[in-house]
């Protein structure tokens, strides 16, 4: 069993906080997360309403070419909306780095 599968199982079982604890452990041990781990961590962050973390993980996933799913794209889009980035970016009120996060969040 991999970390990714365990994180996924915990999130699916309704334990997103425990899933994120396991995610932190994976990162502390410097284990490279697989696509399943990223997807599950994004879902867990969404469940906990950790919107910044959703965008951060989604950006990492794209950077590492882990092929985010439609569900992860939807989570990133929702996170951007919840953080108010959509309107702010359109008005030019958000720094370029945040604009890049938003673009990454909504670009397939």
pLDDT by residue for the chain (108 residues), tens digit each? Answer: 688 899 999 999 999 999 999 999 999 999 999 999 999 999 999 999 999 999 999 999 988 888 888 899 999 989 999 998 864 443 333 344 544 554 544 444
pLDDT at 108: 44
The phi and psi torsions of 103 (rounded to 5 degrees) equal: -60, -40
Q: What is the value of pTM for the model shown? A: 0.76
Q: Which residues have C-beta within 8 Å of that of residue 14, sequence separation ≥ 6?
A: none
Asked if 40 contacts 68 with a C-beta cutoff of 8 angstroms, the reply is no
Res 100: pLDDT: 52
């Amino acid at each position: 069993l991999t970390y990714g599968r365990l994180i996924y199982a915990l999130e699916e079982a309704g334990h997103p906080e425990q899933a994120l604890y396991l995610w932190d452990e994976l990162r502390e041990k410097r284990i490279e997360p697989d696509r399943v781990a990223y997807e599950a961590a994004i879902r867990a962050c969404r469940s906990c309403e950790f919107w910044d973390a959703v965008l951060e993980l989604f950006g990492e996933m794209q950077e590492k070419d882990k092929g985010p799913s439609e569900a992860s794209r939807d989570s990133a889009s929702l996170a951007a909306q919840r953080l108010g980035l959509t309107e702010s970016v359109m008005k030019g009120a958000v720094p370029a780095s945040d604009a890049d996060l938003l673009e990454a969040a909504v670009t397939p």
